[in-house]
Amino acid sequence: MTTTAARLTRTWEAPGFVRGIFANVDHKQIGLRYIATAFVFMGEAGIGGLVMRTQLAVPNNTIVSPDHYNQVFTLHGTVMIFLFATPLLIGGLGNYLIPLMIGSRDMAFPRLNALSYWIYLFAGMFIYSSFFVGKAPNGGWFAYVPLTSVAYSPGINLDFWALGIVFLGISTTASAVNFIVTIFKLRAPGMNVARMPLFVWAMLVTSFAIVFALPPLTLGASLLEIDRQYGTHFYDPGAGGSVLLWQHLFWVFGHPEVYIMFLPAVGIVSTVIPTFARTRIAAYTLLVLSSVSIGFISFGVWVHHMFSVGLPPVSLAFFAAAGMAITIPSGIQIFAWIATIWKGDILWRTPFLFAVGFLFTIMLGGFTGVMVSAVPFDWQVTDSQFIVAHLHYVLVGGVVLPIFAALYYWLPKMTGRMLDERLGQWHFWLFFIGFNLTFFPMHLMGLYGMPRRVYTYEPDFGLTGLNLVSTVGAFMQAAGIAVFVLNFVLSMIRGDEAGDDPWRAGTLEWATTSPPEAFNFREIPTVHSRDPLWDAAAPTRSVAQPGDSVLRETFATSVLDADQPHVLVMPGETYLPFLLALGIGILFVGILFNRMEVVVAGAVIGLAVTALWMWPADRSVQTSTGRKPKSLQGTEAPATWGLLMFIATESIFFALLFSCYFYIRSGAGAWPQGGIESPKLLTPSINTVILLASSVPIFWADASIKRGNQAGLRIGFALSFLLGAVFLVLQLREYGSLPFHANVNAYTGLFFVITAFHGVHVFVGMLMNASTQVRAWAGHFSSEDHLAVQNAGWYWHFVDVVWLFVFSIVYISPHVI
Amino acid sequence: MTATPRRIATFAMVLIPGFATSACGRGILATRTPEAKHIALLWWLMFSLGSAAFIVIGGLLFYALFRRRTNPSAFEQRPASQTLFITIGGALIPLLILIVVFGFTVGVMAAARTGSGGMPVQVIGHDFWWEVRYPGSGVTAHNEIHVPVGREVDFELRSEDVIHSFWVSQLNGKTDLVPGLVNRMSITVTSAGTFRGTCAEFCGIGHACMTFVVVAEPQDQFDAWLAAQPSQPSDDPQEFKNGDCAGPSDAAAERAPEPSEVASVR
C-alpha cells in the first residue's frame, strides 16, 4: 500500500520550487492560490470601503477629493465582485472542493485550470495597477455610458476597466467550462445526478450561468473600448447609437452575476447546515430544483435595474413579476434549511454560526429585493442609499457570511489544522454586528432621500448620526476580519490536527487525508448514496482502478448515471498556461497603450504557446495496465463537452451581436443610417457558397478517418482550409471596396464588428484545421483515435452555420425589411 | 452558547420598530403629492408584510434552533411532512403575498401614468446643473423650479451630456434624463413648501453637488415669480471647479452658469 502511495506521489506531485510555482496544474494548489489572491484583493477593496465610510462619517468631510472618492467606490465595487467574491467562490472553493467532492483526482482540464488562475492574477494586477498610477476607473462599477465614453472620461482610467473586464472574462469563462465538464464527466462511479452534493449542484448551475452571462459583459465592454479607442458610435445617440444598449448588455450580465455569487453560497449553506444539525438535508430534490430555477429566472430580471430610464409600463410590469418570482425558489431554500435544523441536533461551531447569521440577513436582503421589484417603490429608492443597503445585505450577508462559513468549515481540510473556536466566535460577532451597523442605517438614509455615490452631504440633511453609526460598523467589520487573519495565522502555527474528518461530515472530501495528497484518493471510491460517509454502505473500492504508473490517471464516467468508468489520462506539469496568460496579458497591455507592436508580440507568444498546447504529450508511455489506454471518443471524452460549452458561449456572443443590430435598428429612422446604401450582395453570396462548400470535405474527412482512411482525412482538411482562405480574401476585398469606415455611425460599426468577428472565427477555425493537418501528417489519428478531427470539424461547421445568420441579418435584411 | 443566536434576533427585533418610526419630516415618506403618497402606501404595505414574514420565519428558525431536543422529533421520521412544510411555507404562502404585492404595484403604476393636461416644464440636465424652461412664457431658470400648488405639472426631461436622474423624494420617484431620449413625469403638489431635489444617477465629479430645489407656491405667487424672471438667464458664472459643492443649492440660482463655461470647466 505504501509503495502504491509513493508511486502515486511521484506521479502527481510537482517537484521543485520554480516548477512547483509556474508549472503546477494541481486543482488544490490552484484553488489555494485563488483563495489567497482573492483575499488580498478583498483587503485592498475593503480598505477602500473604510476610506469611503471615513469620508462620509461627518458632513462636508475632506479626507478624499471627489475624484479620488469616485475612483475608490468604482474600484471597491469592481474588485469586490470581479476579483474577490466570484473568483474566491468559483476559482477558489470550487477548484479545491469539486474534484474532492466528486471523487476525482483533478479537474477535467488541469492546464486550462492553471490558465484561468494566471489570467485572473494578471487581469487583477492589470485593473489594480490603474490605482497605483492614480488613474483608477471612476465611472462606477456599472460604468454607464456616456459618462464612460471618451468625451466625458478622456483619461486612461476607463480603458483599464473595460480591458480588464474583457481580460478577466476569459478566465471566468474557462473556469466555468472546466467545472461543467468536470462535474459532467469526472464523478466517481455510482455518483449519479441524484447523489451529487448540493454544493456541486450549485457550482454546476453557476457555471452554466457564467457561460451564458459573461458574453454580454464581454461584448458590452469590448464595444465600449472600441468606441473609446477607434471612434465608433455604438453608444453615441448623436450618431445613431444607443445609451440604453450598454445598460441592457451590462445588466443581462449583471443580474445573473448576483446569482453567480449567491448560488455557490447557497451550496455552502446547504452543506454546512446538515453537518452541524447532524442530519440529512431536508428536501434535497426541491433544493436542486430551486437552484436550477433561480439560474433560469435570473436571466429574465435585468430590467429590474432600469426601472427609471423611461421604458414602457407593460415591460416594467413583466420584469417586476419576474423579479418577485425569485422569491419562490428562495423561500423553498429557507424553509428547507429551517426544516433541516428543526429535525436535527445542533452542534454549535463557528461554520454553523456564520450559516445562521446568513439565514437572518438573507431574509432582510430578500425582502428588500421584493420591495425594489415593485416598480414605483424602486423609482423612489433606486440609486439611493437604500440600494446600497439592499445589495450589501445580499452580497455581504448572502455571500460573504457563507464564504466565512466555508473557510471555517474547509480550511481544516486544506491546511490540516483546526481554527480556534473562541476566536472564530469573536470574528463572527464583530463582523455580524459591524455588518448590520454599517448597512442597516443605509436603508433609512435612502428613505430620507440620500443618493448613492455622493462623496459628501450637508449637515442640515439630518443624516449625520446614521452616517456615523455606519462608519463605526465598518470598522467593526474590519476588526472581525483582523481576528480571522489572526486566527488563521495562529492555526498554522499551533492549531490542532484536523484529522481526516473533524466534523464527521458526509461528503467525499472528508474521506481522504487533511490536507489531501496530490492525487486526492489512493483509490477512486464507488458511491452508493448522497452522503457516502454516513452510510452503512460506505464507499467501496471500484472493480478496476486507474493505475499508479507514470501517467496521471483518473476515471471518466457517463454524464447522468456516472457508470461505465473509463481510465482518463491527465496532463502533468507544464509552463504553457503561465506563458499563454503572459502572452494574452502583453496583448491587453498593448491595446491599453495603443501600441501595435506590443499587441503583435503578445499575439505571437499566445499563438506559439497554443500550438505547443495542442500537441499531445509523449504518446509512447504505457499505463499501469501495461497497454495504451483506450482513447475516449465522442461523448465519452471530456474534450467533446468542453468544445460544446465553448460553442455555446460563442453562440451567445453572436446572438447578442444580432440583438444589438436589431436594437439599434429599431431606434433608427432610415436603415442603414447616414444615407449609406444597403450592402451589395454579390461577394457575400459567393462567400456563402464557398463557406457552405467548405463543410463538405470536413464531413468526408471525418468519415474517412473513422474508416482508417488517412488520405481522405488529409485531403478533406486541406480542401476546406483552402476554401476558408478564399473566403477571407474575398471578405477583405469587400472591406476595401466599401465607401465607409467603421467609425461613421452605429450602423457602420455594427457592420464591421459582426462581419469581422465572424471572420476571426473563420481564422481560428483555419488554425484548428492546420493543427489537425499537421497532426494527421504525423500519424496521430486512426479509426480508434480521432477526437481532435471531430472537434476541429464541429467548430468549422459551427462557424459556417453562424455565417448563414450573418449573411441573412447583415446583408439580406436591409434589402427586405 | 445558546445566548448568542438569541442576541441576533433581539438585535433585529429592536431595530425594526425603530426603522418604522424614524422616517418622518423629509424623504420618500413625507409626501406632498398624490404620486408620492401612493408609493409611500406601497412601502408601508410591503414593510408590514415583510416585518410579519421576518417575525414568523425568524420565529420558526429560532424555535428550530433552540427547541428542547429530549425526544427525537417526529418531524425527522416523516419526509412527507417536511416537504409539505417547505412547500406551503416556502412557496405557497409567499406566492399569495406576492400576488397581493404585485397587484398593488400595478395599481400604483397605473395611477402614476404621466398626464399631459398640466402645465409643461422642461428640465434639461447638464454637468452639473439643471436648466429649467417654462415653454409658455420663455422663462429659463437654473437649479430652482417653481410650481403652482394644486396644479398638475408635466415635466419633460432631457439631458445634454450624460445620464442624470431627477429626484425630489417628497414629490415622486426618479426619472432618468437620458441623452437621445425624452422622458416625462407628472406631479401635483398639494401644499406649499420648498423641497430638496438632487441628481440621483452618478454623473461625474460634480454629482454630489448637482442639487436643486422645488418651490411650490400658490398660483398668484407663482405667476408673480414667473413675471419677475428676466427672459435671458443671468450671465453670472457659477464658480464650480473640481467638484467642490458651490454652496447651498437654493443660492445657486443667482449664480447660474452659462453652458459654455460649464463645458470648459469639464
Mutate to test the interface with A, among B35, B65, B127 (most CBs of A within 10 A): B65
Residues in chain B closer than 8 A to A327 (CB atoms): 94, 98
The b/e string for A315-325 (b: 16+ C-beta within 10 A; e otherwise) is ebbebbbbbbb
CB contact under 8 Å between B169 and A462, yes or no, is no
* Option in B42, B63, B109 nearest A316 (CB): B109
How far is Cα A472 from Cα A57, in angstroms, rounded to an integer? Answer: 8
Residue count of chain B:
266
Q: Is the CB of residue A324 less than 8 Å from the CB of residue B14?
A: no
A443-471 pLDDT, tens digit each: 999 999 999 999 999 888 889 999 999 99
CB contact under 8 Å between A282 and B109, yes or no, is no
Sheet with strand B193-199: strands edge to edge: B144-148, B211-217, B193-199, B164-167, B175-177
Please give the pLDDT value at position B248.
40
Please give the pLDDT value at position A540.
61
How many helices (H) and strands (E) chain A has is answered by 27, 4
Q: Hey, is the C-beta of A339 within 8 angstroms of any chain B C-beta?
A: yes
Residues in chain B closer than 8 A to A454 (CB atoms): 207-208
Strand B152-159 to B119-126 pairing: parallel
Which cell numbers in the block locate residue A621?
508511455
* Option in A243, A328, A370 nearest B163 (CB): A243
What is the value of ipTM here, to two decimals? 0.93
* Option in B82, B101, B243 nearest A283 (CB): B82
How far is Cα A654 from Cα A805, in angstroms, rounded to an integer? Answer: 9
Residues near A814 by Cβ (< 8 Å), separated by ≥ 6?
A: A671, A672, A678, A679
Looking up cell 399569495, which residue turns up? B96
A226-246 pLDDT, tens digit each: 999 999 999 999 999 999 999
A15-36 pLDDT, tens digit each: 788 888 999 999 999 999 999 9
A540 forms beta bridges with A526
How far is Cα A245 from Cα A216, in angstroms, rounded to an integer? Answer: 11
How far is Cα B196 from Cα A641, in angstroms, rounded to an integer? Answer: 58
A345 or A538, which is more confident = A345
Residues in chain A closer than 8 A to B15 (CB atoms): 436, 440
B176 forms beta bridges with B165
CA angle A39, A44, A47 (to 5 degrees): 120
CB contact under 8 Å between B64 and A338, yes or no, is yes
Which cell numbers in the block locate residue A407?
473557510
Residues in chain B closer than 8 A to A320 (CB atoms): 102, 105-106
How far is Cα A745 from Cα A809, in angstroms, rounded to an integer? Answer: 18
Cα dihedral across residues A158, A164, A165, A166: positive or negative: positive
A478-489 pLDDT, tens digit each: 999 999 999 999
A170-211 pLDDT, tens digit each: 999 999 999 999 999 999 999 999 999 999 999 999 999 999
How far is Cα B164 from Cα B177, in angstroms, rounded to an integer? Answer: 5
Chain B residue nearest residue A354, CA to CA: B5
The yes-or-no verdict on residue A541 having pLDDT over 90 is no
Strand ranges, E, within A522-678: 525-526, 540-541, 552-556, 566-570
* Option in A244, A363, A447 nearest B29 (CB): A447
CA–CA min distance A446, chain B (Å) = 8
Q: Is the CB of residue A261 less than 8 Å from the CB of residue A81?
A: yes
* Cβ-based neighbour number of residue A721 at 10 Å: 21
Residues in chain A closer than 8 A to B181 (CB atoms): 237, 243-244, 309-310
Phi and psi at residue A253, to the nearest 5°: -80, -45
Rounded to the nearest integer, the mean pLDDT of chain A is 93
The yes-or-no verdict on residue A543 having pLDDT over 60 is no
Give the amino acid at A168.
L
Average pLDDT over residues A259-270: 97
Residues in chain A closer than 8 A to B164 (CB atoms): none
The yes-or-no verdict on residue A119 having pLDDT over 80 is yes
Share of chain A above pLDDT 70, in %: 96
Question: Which A-chain residues 258-287 have CB contacts (< 8 A) with chain B?
Answer: 279, 282-283, 286
Residues in chain A closer than 8 A to B89 (CB atoms): 331, 335, 338
* Choice among A216-220, A281-285, B235-239 with the minimum mean pLDDT: B235-239
How far is Cα A599 from Cα A63, in angstroms, rounded to an integer? Answer: 40
Q: Hey, is the C-beta of A142 within 8 angstroms of any chain B C-beta?
A: no
Looking up cell 490605482, which residue turns up? A131
CB pairs under 8 A between A and B: 271
A750 forms beta bridges with none
B217 forms beta bridges with B148
CB contact under 8 Å between A286 and B8, yes or no, is no
CA–CA min distance B231, chain A (Å) = 29
How far is Cα A814 from Cα A803, in angstroms, rounded to an integer? Answer: 16
Residue count of chain A:
817
Cα dihedral across residues B197, B199, B200, B206: positive or negative: negative
Flag residues of chain B having pLDDT under 50: 1-2, 13-14, 16-24, 235-237, 239-243, 246-266
A546-580 pLDDT, tens digit each: 665 677 888 889 999 998 888 888 888 899 999 99
CA–CA min distance B240, chain A (Å) = 13
Chain B residue nearest residue A282, CA to CA: B82
* Option in A147, A348, A456 nearest B245 (CB): A456
Confidence of residue A372 (pLDDT cuts 50, 70, 90): very high
Please give the pLDDT value at position B5.
56
How far is Cα A530 from Cα A285, in angstroms, rounded to an integer? Answer: 11
Residues in chain B closer than 8 A to A377 (CB atoms): 39, 42-43, 46, 105, 173
Mutate to test the interface with B, among A64, A334, A380, A463 (most CBs of B within 10 A): A380
Task: Give how far Cα A53 sits from Cα of A41, A63, A65, A646, Å.
Answer: 18, 10, 14, 42
Q: Hey, is the C-beta of A448 within 8 angstroms of any chain B C-beta?
A: yes
A655-711 pLDDT, tens digit each: 999 999 999 999 988 999 999 999 999 999 999 999 999 999 999 999 999 999 999
Question: Which A-chain residues 382-441 have CB contacts (< 8 A) with chain B?
Answer: 382-384, 425, 429, 432-433, 436, 440
